[in-house]
Amino acid sequence: MSVARLPTRADAKPEAAPPMPELPEVETVRRGLAPAMEGQVIARADVRRPDLRWPFPPDMAARLTGARVLRLRRRSKYILADLDTGETLIIHLGMSGRMLVSGVMPGAFHFDHPAPEKHDHVVLDMAGGARVTFNDARRFGAMDLVPTAAAEAHWLLADLGPEPLGNAFNDAYLVARLRGRMTPIKAALLDQRVVAGLGNIYVCEALNRAGISPRRKAGRIAAPRVAGLVPVIRDVLTEAIAAGGSSLRDHRQASGELGYFQHDFRAYGREGAPCRSPGCGGAIRRIVQSGRSTFYCPRCQR
C-alpha cells in the first residue's frame, strides 16, 4: 500500500538541465516569491557565506532582520526587494541561482522546510512562517543592499538598456541603437546595454522567429527587418512568462522551487532537429559565437 508523501526537494530537480535564468525565468521567480515575501517581515536572515560573485555587505543579515518587504520588483534579470527600512535588496540569480519557498505560504501549499543543502547561501525566514532559500552552485549570482532611491543607479543596473516589454523598446530605438554596429546581431542582442533581459536562449529563439541569421552584422540589417525584431522579442518573452505563470501554481505544488518550467523552443538546444518555423523544416545548426552556442536554421534565417 502506497503512502502519500510530502513533496521533497528532489522533486524540484528538473530531469534535463534547467534553462538559465533570463527575463522570463526571473519574472516567474519574482511572481512566485511575492506571496511569500510581500508585506512580510524578515524575522531572520541567515547569510551562510560572505559572498556570491562579490562580497555581501558585511552587515547584510543585520540590516535585513526586522525589515518588512514592501514589494518585489524586477529590472532586467534582477529582482529588487524594496524594504520599509529605505533599503532595497538587489538579487541576481546568475546562471545557476535557484529560489526555494517552504513553510507557510498564504493561500498556497505548505511545505516542510527542507534540510539545508550544499550551496544554500542565504536563507530568509519570514515572520509569517515562509522561508526563502537562495541556492547557487556556481555562485555567479549576486546580492547587494542599497538605498532604495539609489537602486536603479547601482553599478550593476546603471548601464542597462530598456526593458524589452516596455515602451522605450521600439523599432525606432532599436534601429538607431544598432546603426553602424559591426558585431553580429546575436552578440548585439545579448548586450544588456542594447536591450535588458535577453540571454542566449531567447536571443536564439527571437532570431529564429524573425528569420534573421545570427551571424549578420547588426548594423547591416535593413531597418524594416530590425524593426520586425521588436514584436518578435516581445512575443517570445511574453509567451515564456505566460508559460512560467501558468506552471507556477503546479510547480509550487510539486516542489516549492520557483522559476523552472517547460519550454518549447524552436531552435535552442535542437541541433540537427528540424526547424519549427512554419513551413521550413531545415536542420537546426549549432555554431559558436563569442564562445557561446548559437542555434539557428541556415535555411530560413538569412
Partner DNA sequence: ACTGGGACCTGGACGC
Partner DNA sequence: TGCGTCCAGGTCCCAG
Specify binding-site residues. 119, 138, 181
Contact flag: residue 121 with DNA (CB under 7 A): no
Would you put residue 66 in left (φ > 0), alpha (ψ -120 to 50) or beta?
Answer: left
Instruction: For residue 139, state whether it binds DNA (rule: CB under 7 A).
Output: yes
Nearer of residues 45 and 178 to DNA, judged by Cβ = 178
Distance in Å, CB of 144 to DNA, minimum? 11
Q: Rounded to the nearest 5°, which phi and psi values hold at 89?
A: -90, 120
Active-site pick, 7, 19, 21, 164: 21
**182: number of Cβ within 10 Å:** 9
Q: Is residue 57 annotated as a catalytic residue, yes or no?
A: no
77 is catalytic: yes
CB of 22 to DNA, least distance (A): 6
Stretch near DNA under the rule CB under 7 A, chosen from 35-43, 102-110, 206-214, 286-294: 286-294
Would you count residue 247 as binding DNA (CB under 7 A)? no
The grid cell for 257 is 522551487
287 binds DNA (CB under 7 A): no
Q: Tell me, yes or no, if 21 is annotated catalytic.
A: yes
Q: How far is CA 1 from CA 4, 6, 11, 158, in A?
A: 10, 16, 21, 58
Binding of DNA by 200 (CB under 7 A) = yes
Cβ-based nearer residue to DNA, 7 or 97: 97
Cα gap 275→271, rounded to integer Å = 9
Which listed residue (107, 272, 278, 291) binds DNA by CB under 7 A? 291
Binder among 7, 28, 30, 76 for DNA (CB under 7 A): 76
Grid coordinates given for 241: 512568462
SS (H, E, C) 202-216: HHHHHHHHHCCCCCC
Taking the C-alpha atoms of residue 98 and residue 137, their distance in angstroms, rounded to an integer, is 9
In this structure, the chain runs to a length of 302
Burial (CB count <10 Å: 0-12, 13-18, 19+), residue 153: exposed
**Contact status: 190 vs DNA (CB under 7 A):** yes
Q: Segment contacting DNA (CB under 7 A): 30-38, 100-108, 136-144, 233-241? A: 136-144
The residue from 44, 286, 292, 299 that is catalytic is 292
User: CA 126, CA 40: separation in Å to the nearest integer?
Assistant: 6
Q: Contact, 53 vs 14, CB < 8 A? A: no
Residues annotated in a binding site for DNA: 119, 138, 181
Report if residue 109 touches DNA, rule: CB under 7 A: no
**272 is a contact residue toward DNA (CB under 7 A):** no
- Integer Cα distance of 185 and 179 in angstroms: 11
Active-site residues, by number, are 21-22, 77, 292
Using CB under 7 A, list all residues that contact DNA: 20-22, 53, 76-78, 92, 94-96, 118-119, 137-140, 155-156, 180-184, 187-188, 190, 192, 199-201, 218-219, 288, 290-293
